[in-house]
Amino acid sequence: MDPISEMLIKIKNAGAAHKKTVSFPYSEINYQLAKILAKEGFIETVKKRTASLDSPQKRIVIRLKYENGESKVHDVKKISKPGRRLYFKSKELYFPKNSYGILIVSTPKGLLTSKEAKKLNVGGEALCEIW
């Protein structure tokens, strides 16, 4: 399983189990993705944990956000997969679930939501939808 899918599924499952935090191995793309989720209000906080004696690997720790006892992350959908990459031009970008969710796109300007990518008039690889 690719690291982005693993991270998204861990967040979704932790929310369904009403966990407060979830952690996974550090990668720059996962960290940037988590920062977008925090900025968009799907999670509370994102922290990088450095390697220590307990854990020889850097980790990302996310504090989940709940509203009325339900996780803010209801579901996730991976768009591009290792065997099938999907690219969109700026005009082809969309807003999932009638703008209730977000589409995260990998662009030459970094990871952006579809709204930000449209504003900057850049396209790229669609990574995932979150709602």
pTM: 0.91
Query: Long-range contacts for 114-117 (Cβ within 8 Å, ≥24 apart)?
Result: 117/90, 117/93
Question: Which of 17, 45, 20 has its CA nearest to residue 31?
Answer: 45
CATH for 76-130 is 3.30.1490.10
Q: Are strands 59-64 and 43-49 parallel, antiparallel or unpaired?
A: antiparallel
Domain locations in the chain as residue ranges: 3-71, 76-130
pLDDT per residue rounded down to tens, the chain (131 residues) = 789 999 999 999 999 999 999 999 999 999 999 999 999 999 999 999 987 777 788 999 999 999 999 999 999 999 999 899 999 999 999 999 888 899 999 999 999 999 999 999 999 999 999 99
Residue range 3-71, CATH number? 3.30.1370.30
For the chain, the C-alpha Rg in angstroms (whole number) is 15
